[in-house]
Structure 1
Amino acid sequence: MLTEPGRCRSLTTEQRVLILLRFLAAGSFEQNAADLVRVSQPTVSLNLPIVCDALLNHFTEFIRMPQISSERQAAPLAFHSLAGFPRTIGAIDCTQIKLLSPGGYFGQYIMVGDSRYANTSYLATPYTISHPGLATNPIKRVYQASLIGTRNVVERMYGVLKRRFPVLRHGLNVSLPTAQKLIIAAAILHNICIEEGEVYVDEEVGNENVEESANEQLTEEELLPGVNQLARDEVLQYFRIEAERHQHRNLN
């Protein structure tokens, strides 16, 4: 339910939602949304955080980690089907987010990120292009290709999200608190679209940073000496075992 005293009270729920959708789709100028429903720009400015707050009340319904046992079992299988990378519960992107261990139910899983993140016990990252042995070690090459292929899903998701709501690409000309709410609201609406079968198809949506992730020149091993490399080491061991099994089957 959307309620607010003052100028927004006369708006219907449909009008308020249309204002938000128009703003997200048409760029960061509030006047564009105002023209759609024939209201003033200040009314749009007041309305945006109200609708965002209403959506944020449903945040955990549409943006969440797998909760029930069947979901936690299905997620690693779905990620594995992308490029053969094992035990993956999620993929992340963006260097501004400090990632903590999922813990709890997710302690047995790992996440995958690009080489701008540190490799830890719960986060597996690709080798840098200058890593010793990458060019000659077949297991490391399999690991590299599999991880990048698995992480592509989050690259594409951000591309689709920004094309569905271009304001996220063009820039938000609003206050910081409203901008934060708009970003989360857009993510919720994006997931609602997916659940309703509103699939966004655009051949131009690509994996913009895949090559950058693979060819990043920073060497996290040198910058972060002593970092826990359990996640990468475990996955490398997985691929070694898979290679041995494959070789054994060929011999038989």
Structure 2
Amino acid sequence: MLESIRKPSKRGLPFPPEIMLLITLRYYATGSFQKMQKDVMNICQQSVSRIIVQVSNLIATKMKKYVKFPTDTEELNMVKQKFYEINHFPEVIGCVDCTQIKIRSPGGETSDVYKNRKGFYSINVQTVVGPNLEFFNLVARWPGSTPDSFIYNNSSIKQRLDTGELEGVILGDSDFVASNTLLTPFLSPNSIPQEQYNKSLYETRKLVEHCLGIWKGRFPCLQVGMCIKVETVVAVICACAALHNIAVSVGDVAPTNWEMAEIDTDVDFTTTNEDPNSEGFVARQLFVDRYFQNY
């Protein structure tokens, strides 16, 4: 990766690639140019900004190499087994969730689309997480106001699941629309098997929130927000996902106080009525009938 940075451009490279990488990692660790000043006193902010853009774009281009689903059947079966061992939820190959990454207002007439329901500007990032707290998929191109279900419905992961390219199910929360490949909680469970299904799904799905907590703890720029251009924010998000998976692959475990940062301990099982004839309800009930009737 450093060799790619080392390649000369028309203007030349005034800084060694190792220094450029360290400057970029320092930004990922702070999210603030002001906090970096004491560490890069001899480099002006404009140069630091250019370095962050260049290195982030380079690492982001490598994301698909490190962030991907297992394609081998044996590996995918191993993923299902590891998920099953968490709380006996079968056939799971991933857990999906979206998380808001803070940004500054991009300005312009369309800036409000980046303002999410919590009132701050953001990118709504969809992640699919594996059993080892790694990312299997990441989508980082939608403004903060975009609903989670819309992002999923327009994602390649949905298409790959629906066409059978990926065999199994993924688990989501009630922000997503249930189907035979994406399972969500029953909003008002009315039987012991449905309650057990909800409990098993919730306990298994904690993994994605756990992973997001580690990710944002490992790279605080994702938590505190970034005052850089939107396109650079996207590159930083993708770069941090690739670096996270590299860290997981070499056994770099995050400190415990980071691991719990993102977990929502409130179970979002409301009493809202559901249509028992809807496609999603029927798909969930068939899954319950098949796997949870013995509870």
Matches of 1:81 and 1:106 in 2, distance apart?
24
Structure-2 residue corresponding to 1:73: 77
Structure-1 residue corresponding to 2:160: 102
Provide Cα deviations, 1:167-189, integer angstroms capped at 9, x if missing partner: 11111110000000001111111
How many residues matched?
A: 234
Cα separation, partners in 2 of 1:221 and 1:101, compared to 1, 3 Å:
farther
* Structure 1 stretches of 4+ moved >4 Å: 104-107
Matches of 1:230 and 1:107 in 2, distance apart?
21
Which of 66, 69, 94 aligns to 1:90? It is: 94
Provide Cα deviations, 1:69-103, integer angstroms capped at 9, x if missing partner: 22211111111111110101110112533242433
SS at match of 1:90: strand
Higher strand proportion (structure 1 or 2): 2
Amino acid at match of 1:83: N
Structure-2 residue corresponding to 1:30: 33
User: TM-score, normalising length from structure 2?
Assistant: 0.72
Matches of 2:73 and 2:63 in 1, distance apart?
21
Amino acid at match of 2:235: K
SS at match of 2:77: helix
Segment drifting more, 224-233 vs 82-91? 224-233
Cα separation, partners in 2 of 1:46 and 1:178, compared to 1, 3 Å:
same
Segment drifting more, 108-117 vs 6-15? 6-15
Matches within 5 A, 1:95-244: 95-96=147-148, 97-99=151-153, 100-103=158-161, 104=163, 106-128=165-187, 131=188, 133=190, 137-203=191-257, 205-206=259-260, 208-211=263-266, 214-217=267-270, 219=272, 221=274, 226-243=278-295
SS at match of 1:91: strand
Higher helix proportion (structure 1 or 2): 1
**Identical aligned residues as a percent:** 25
How much is the aligned-residue C-alpha RMSD, in angstroms? 2.5
Amino acid at match of 2:175: R
Contiguous gaps of at least 5 residues in structure 1:
244-252
Mapped contact 1:221–1:227 kept (Cα < 8 A): no
Amino acid at match of 1:43: S
Larger Rg: 1
User: TM-score, normalising length from structure 1?
Assistant: 0.83
Deviation at 1:235, TM superposition (A): 2.5
Matches of 2:184 and 2:18 in 1, distance apart?
44
Mapped contact 1:165–1:186 kept (Cα < 8 A): yes
Contiguous gaps of at least 5 residues in structure 2:
99-146
